[in-house]
Amino acid sequence: MWFKNIIVYRITGDFNYDEAQLEEKLQEQAFTPCGSQDLSRYGWISPSNGLQDTLLHSVHGFHMVAAQKEEKILPPAVVKQKVEEKVALIEKEQARKVYRKERDQLKDEVVLDLLPRAFSRFQQTRALIAPQQGWVIVDASSHKRAEELLSYLRGTLGTLPIALPDVKHSPSAIMSQWLEGQQRPQGLEILDEAELRDNLVEGGVIRIKGQELLDEEFVAHLEAGKRVVKLSVEWEEQLRFMVQEDLAIKRIKLTDQMKEKMDQESQEDQLAQFDTDMTQMGIEFTRLFPMLIESFGGLAETP
């Protein structure tokens, strides 16, 4: 159940909700399936993989929520074909041309007619709230998907004081310095994958995988003006991941040492195992991100 890609937000104000209050708020916006004329629906579901009926899972001060989005799939080609059929019939029977405004009306009619028979696509997104440490961590590979969940959570709670962290030094510049041999944070090791970008050449990108990044060959690229925008690292022999210049963390994997440790702590009961995994994930993420923030100069002062 570990998150694979995370976008982390900083809690910037008071988050004064206990478990009962959060559960009550979430229940008011619980997910319900699309009706016959709905294009999409969004709402809260159980974050514990169905192990509990509650919409909030809390353990050791961490809260997890999960949202589900249902979208009806209407292939544009099918809609277009149906519209053209209606247009052709009108023009034939009424001997007149169908213009854009009427076409748009016909398209709306076609969509409403097809919706009850359309297939649904489901997408789930989870977030870990760590109020004591001051973070909200969203399991998402894009800011758009993360913001969708957080916007809905803000509407559910009435307020949600969070912001993407802003650091004092450019992550790209700092990661470039790491490859040039300058001091890295303790416990952080460079792996074998990176993406370099040229500031002066549009589309000038070099992707490196499976090679020693500290070789002179790659340092030469940095000396030529390229900068690191993505870098794979290992942290404290626990996690492997890709750090991006926008502070998003992608492709998170547990190291063999971490897997062995968690296997030793495994539980027979599924819910107890979920609690163990969630707690460990919360601890590691809320240790990891402050370290990264500090390595990029700390949080920038807000005006």
Domain residue spans of the chain: 6-72+120-163, 76-116, 171-295
The Cα-based distances of 245 to 93, 142, 163, 165, 173 in angstroms read 60, 14, 17, 12, 9
Amino acid occupying residue 238 = Q
| Residue 29: both structure tokens together | 């916006």
Global pTM reads: 0.87
Ranking 103-112, 123-132, 159-168, 193-202 by mean pLDDT, the lowest is 193-202
Euclidean distance between CA atoms 20 and 33, whole angstroms: 25
Three-class SS of residue 52?
Answer: coil
Closest by alpha carbon to 243, among 297, 195, 177, 179?
195
Euclidean distance between CA atoms 265 and 268, whole angstroms: 10
303, pLDDT greater than 60: no
User: Alpha helices of the chain — where are they, by DSSP H?
Assistant: 19-28, 76-94, 100-114, 143-157, 171-179, 216-223, 256-264, 270-295
Percentage helix, strand, coil for the chain under 3-state DSSP, each rounded to 5: 40, 30, 35
**Average per-residue pLDDT for the chain:** 92
Euclidean distance between CA atoms 160 and 168, whole angstroms: 24
Euclidean distance between CA atoms 243 and 171, whole angstroms: 9
85, pLDDT greater than 60: yes
Q: pLDDT digit string (tens) for 212-270?
A: 777 667 777 777 778 899 999 999 999 999 999 999 999 999 999 999 988 888 888 99
Could you tell me if 278 and 59 are in contact, meaning their C-beta atoms sit under 8 angstroms apart?
A: yes
pLDDT attached to residue 203:
61
Q: Which residues contact 167 (CB under 8 A, 6 or more apart)?
A: 247, 293, 296, 297, 298, 299, 300
Where does the pLDDT of residue 201 fall: very low under 50, low under 70, confident under 90, or very high at 90 and above? low
- As to burial, measured by CB atoms within 10 angstroms (0-12 exposed, 13-18 middle, 19+ buried), residue 8 is buried
Closest by alpha carbon to 133, among 291, 297, 248, 240?
291
pLDDT attached to residue 163:
96
Q: Are strands 249-254 and 239-244 parallel, antiparallel or unpaired?
A: antiparallel
Closest by alpha carbon to 54, among 62, 157, 63?
63
Q: Tokens 């949600």 belong to which residue?
A: 160
The Cα-based distances of 215 to 84, 120, 179, 212, 218 in angstroms read 60, 50, 9, 6, 6
pLDDT attached to residue 302:
63
pLDDT attached to residue 289:
96
115, pLDDT greater than 70: yes
Euclidean distance between CA atoms 210 and 275, whole angstroms: 36
Amino acid occupying residue 56 = L
Euclidean distance between CA atoms 1 and 48, whole angstroms: 9
Q: What's 201's DSSP letter?
A: S
Percent with pLDDT over 90 in the chain: 70
Q: pLDDT digit string (tens) for 38-69?
A: 999 999 999 998 888 899 999 999 999 999 99
pLDDT attached to residue 266:
85
pLDDT attached to residue 296:
96
Task: State mean pLDDT over 109-126.
Answer: 92
Percent with pLDDT over 70 in the chain: 97
